[in-house]
Structure 1
Amino acid sequence: MKLRYCYTSTLGVTLVTLGLAAGAIAPYLATTLTPALAASPENTSFPDTQNYWAQPFIHNLAERDIVTGYPDNTFRPEQPVARDEFASILQQAFSQPAEREIASGSVYTDVPQGYWAAPAIQEAYEMGFMKGYPGGEFRPNQPVSRVEVLVSLAQNLNLPTTTTAVDKSVAAAATPARVQPVSRRRANRPLIFPLAMTTLMQPLMATPARATAAANSAPASSNTSQRPVSLVVSDYYQDAAQIPQYAVDDVAATTAAGIVVNYPDQRVLNPTRPATRGEVAALIHQALVSQGKTVPISDQSASQYVVGR
């Protein structure tokens, strides 16, 4: 069962279980929520996202109850996302089989019993999206960086992975229109790629055997040498040198899958900067698109920031 978290200034956090009949929860609402919040209707449009670049992504997720606004009806798209909030968004967005188990989110020394995000932290850990730090800490209030969001998604959404990639001209000649992904885990969960992404995927996905065959038939002037993923990533991002080494493959995988969204410049990743609520909404939306769980954004004013589009 998915849970919905609502915030109030006087109560801190109130948990409302979805799926109850209106008559059954009316007494609960009257005694638990502040009057202003209890009277507020469900809303997926926020005044502070009007004319905001990520508004279509935010609206789509809000309609699916993946992200919510605040009691004052704002979304605060430029506010950094902390690890506890990211866990809550992951819990709402994905229903992956559990890969591991913990007793509760409060097994971490800095997540007290009854903490509002403890169930989400537990589920994000069990699905494989997040984990704690040495010393038994989760650091729930620590902002999550953009590259950490991408690593989390890449490592648990069955994205293709590779350690080397061939030159684009070779891959273009060698790779068929549809590329069979190499599963990181759970091979029985097929990954659906938008056809528009196949050109972007080619330099990252061509196998060494096909690359060799293409090299033998390519003109003498073609560059047929294999290139490290780090160099291929640098083809897309001007600040590729700022990507932590541990994250290079995952950035390549999420780029190939059409998950990366960079505003205002596609070629600037800002990997270590804290991810904002608007950015996380865009990245989660694109992850759902890559899984075939929602449709791509048709609004050109927003979709133009999807890398490789």
Structure 2
Amino acid sequence: PSSPPPERSPLGFDELLAVVIAFLAIGSIFFWVLNRTVAPGFDVFGLLAAPATDAPRSTALPDTATQPEIDPSSAIVADQLFPEQTERAPLPLLTQPSAERPLGRSPQQLPSLVPVPVPLTPGAEAPATQGDAAVTEASPEAAPVDTGFSDVPSDYWAAPFIAALVDRGVLSGFPDGTFKPNQPVTRAEFAAMIESAFEQNPVGRDAADFEDVPADFWASPSIDRSYQIGFLEGYPGGVFNPNQQIPKVQALVALTRGLELSPPQDPQTVVQTYEDADAIPDYATNSVAAATESGLVVNYPNTEQLEPNQESTRAEIAALIYQAMVQAGIAEPMESDYVVQPDS
């Protein structure tokens, strides 16, 4: 018969102490290994307590596009926790407000902003989008101006020309506060504008005695002056036709004559810039070509449509006279999409 298995003797005090020391040693080694493998300053116990994930932890930075305030301390903490993993998005530069504004606004109203790439201080207003705060270049178009006339909006195509000539006293409005930019211009009115714009031009000939311009006619002095400085001429038979609405081609001929502009070598080629070149009268071809080469021509709304025989409006004459003043060196060039470029 087999003998019964021997009974296990309980652990003695020495054996139990050895087991405890062994577990403590293993735990110390495991703790030391963990401290060697994690980043300095990392919370080991927080890591052990957090749920396991495959993706690395990241710290969300404040969104300047949606939050009105940014706490600078939050960005500093993120940099300290993850000096290599956290990449802070660059904040857009703050710029001065656009110079496009109606005249008369005081410059002191512009906020003083320092263009430095630092986080916004608490309470500062964050930009709505990065595009709104981006540095912008000057627009090729002239900035809107306040003409002071109720019928000439600040964004009207000829507003800069009108405002410039009004400031110089070349043009004026009507008693009701309007300018009537689309009203046709008569030869007498054109003579008055020429006299005001080129009042410094020397007299080159005696005044003409036009039969239809009596001495007491309101524009008689202006007609005499514009004739004496070489801009305007009369018609056969000794008449001026002061009340005739002046077509665009006549205005260009008068301006090129008064400025003594020479025609280019091939006028016919130059006037082919315009889709309606065939409508230009033969007597005016050289003058239109010279005006085109000198930057006098302003065509709205299509720069390739001259419309030479159409009556000119007050807005169109204002643009032509201003460009003539630029050519004469008595006005500064003005940006406009409707000035026909000489090389176009």
Deviation sequence 1:4-57 (CA, Å, 0-9, x none): xxxxxxxxxxxxxxxxxxxxxxxxxxxxxxxxxxxxxxx952111113210110
Contact 1:81 1:143 survives alignment (8 Å): yes
Specify the alignment match of 2:220 in structure 1. 118
1-structure distance, mates of 2:244, 2:270: 31
Alignment of 1:125-274 (within 5 A): 125-162=227-264, 164-165=265-266, 229-234=267-272, 236-274=273-311
The alpha-carbon deviation at position 84 of structure 1 amounts to: 0.3
The alpha-carbon deviation at position 256 of structure 1 amounts to: 0.8
1-structure distance, mates of 2:268, 2:197: 30
Structure 1 segments, 4+ long, off by >3 Å, are: none
Specify the alignment match of 1:49 in structure 2. 152
* 3-state SS, counterpart of residue 49 of structure 1: coil
Higher relative contact order (CA 8 A, sep 6+): 1
Deviation sequence 1:221-264 (CA, Å, 0-9, x none): xxxxxxxx213311x10000000111111111111111100000
2-structure distance, mates of 1:269, 1:288: 20
2-structure distance, mates of 1:90, 1:76: 19
The alpha-carbon deviation at position 59 of structure 1 amounts to: 0.3
Any stretches of 5+ residues in structure 2 without a counterpart?
1-145
Deviation sequence 1:190-235 (CA, Å, 0-9, x none): xxxxxxxxxxxxxxxxxxxxxxxxxxxxxxxxxxxxxxx213311x
2:162 to 50, 58, 61: 58
1:77 to 181, 186, 190: 181
Specify the alignment match of 1:90 in structure 2. 194
The alpha-carbon deviation at position 76 of structure 1 amounts to: 0.3
1:284 to 310, 313, 321: 321
Contact 1:263 1:305 survives alignment (8 Å): yes
Deviation sequence 1:54-109 (CA, Å, 0-9, x none): 01100000000001101111100000000000000000000221121027xxx322
2-structure distance, mates of 1:232, 1:145: 20
> Which AA in structure 2 matches 1:295?
E
**Does 1:67 find its partner at 2:171?**
yes
2-structure distance, mates of 1:156, 1:131: 10
Deviation sequence 1:105-134 (CA, Å, 0-9, x none): xx3221122111000000011111112112
Deviation sequence 1:124-172 (CA, Å, 0-9, x none): 111111121122211110011101011011112032323x33xxxxxxx
2-structure distance, mates of 1:268, 1:257: 17
Specify the alignment match of 1:304 in structure 2. 337
Contact 1:44 1:63 survives alignment (8 Å): no
The alpha-carbon deviation at position 271 of structure 1 amounts to: 0.3
**TM-score normalized by structure 2?**
0.55
1-structure distance, mates of 2:210, 2:328: 31
Structure showing the higher helix proportion among its residues: 1
Matched positions, count: 195
2-structure distance, mates of 1:232, 1:100: 32
Structure showing the higher strand proportion among its residues: 1
Deviation sequence 1:251-302 (CA, Å, 0-9, x none): 111111111000000000000001100000000011111122111224xxxx
* Identity between Structure 1 and Structure 2 (%): 47
2-structure distance, mates of 1:245, 1:113: 34
Specify the alignment match of 1:99 in structure 2. 204
1-structure distance, mates of 2:189, 2:280: 23
> Which AA in structure 2 matches 1:45?
G
> Which AA in structure 2 matches 1:233?
V
2-structure distance, mates of 1:277, 1:72: 16
Rg comparison, structure with higher value: 2
Contact 2:151 2:178 survives alignment (8 Å): yes
